Structures are given as C-alpha cells and as structure tokens.
Structure 1
C-alpha cells in the first residue's frame, strides 16, 4: 500500500512498530528516518500532535520539525521517501 493512502493513525502505528523493533542504540536514527519517511503525509499536523500520536515526549517535537524541514532538501536532492 502506498504511504499516501495511509491514515494518520496508521502512520503513527507504523512508526511505533518501527521504533519498538529498533535496536536501543539505533532508536533516534530510526525515529529520524520515520519522520522523514512520513513528512509529506504529516505536513498538516503540529509537532505536538506528532508526539502525542506516536507516544513520545513533547521534547521530540523539535526533532520532528527539523526532520520535516530537512525532508524538503533531501527530496530536492533526489531522495524518494517511498523507498524508505
């Protein structure tokens, strides 16, 4: 199924699952990757809503904002987030 057809809750569930399967020393890297992967689908939500949806401390909201901004630059350089 294409990412663009997933509901917000499905995306949150996918991110939670990916984080739960990440090795402890790769948790933050996996979180950043998931934020980039779903940045376009989550462009209308706030960082606070993202943290609440995924079950993260609000302090991760800054990371969400950074990754969303970084995604635009990565895509301009050729990144296809559908392949993440």
Structure 2
C-alpha cells in the first residue's frame, strides 16, 4: 500500500469515528498500519493524516506499544 493510500484510509476512519472514540480509533489505526508506518517520522505521520503535531507523541507511544503487542502475539494485519 502506498503512503498516501494508508493516510487516506486513516483520515476516512477518523472522520467517521464517534467524537468520544477519536483518540482510541487513532491508536488502533496506528497499530493496524504499523508496518507501513515503520520508517515514517511522527511529524510526517501528523502531516500525512492532517493532525496537529502534538499527536506525534501518541504516534511514538503506539509504535513502541506495537512492538510489545506483537511480541505477545498480536497480528496488526487482522485489525
């Protein structure tokens, strides 16, 4: 999947997320697309999805969490 394609998917899902579930959905998408996001900086991610740069911290947290989840058996591609 190309970079602009997964950014578009994430933007669409976030646009349809209930207001009280926006951040949880953002985290889920970061985990789901972890492979595609592997070489992307938090700044690039925020710009690509159209988020405030303050969400870069969340991006970094989810990248680290994904490694631990995978070690525990999670398959992000199934999300």
Tell me the TM-score normalized by structure 2. Answer: 0.97
Supply the RMSD in Å over aligned alpha carbons.
0.5
Gaps of 5+ in 2: none
Aligned residues, how many? 79
1:3 aligned residue: none
Match of 2:10 in 1: 15
- In structure 1, the gaps of 5 or more residues are 1-5
| Matches for 1:54-73 after TM superposition, within 5 Å | 54-73=49-68
Q: TM-score normalised to the size of structure 1?
A: 0.92
Q: Which residue of 1 aligns with 2:43?
A: 48
Query: Structure 1 residue runs of 4+, over 6 Å off?
Result: none
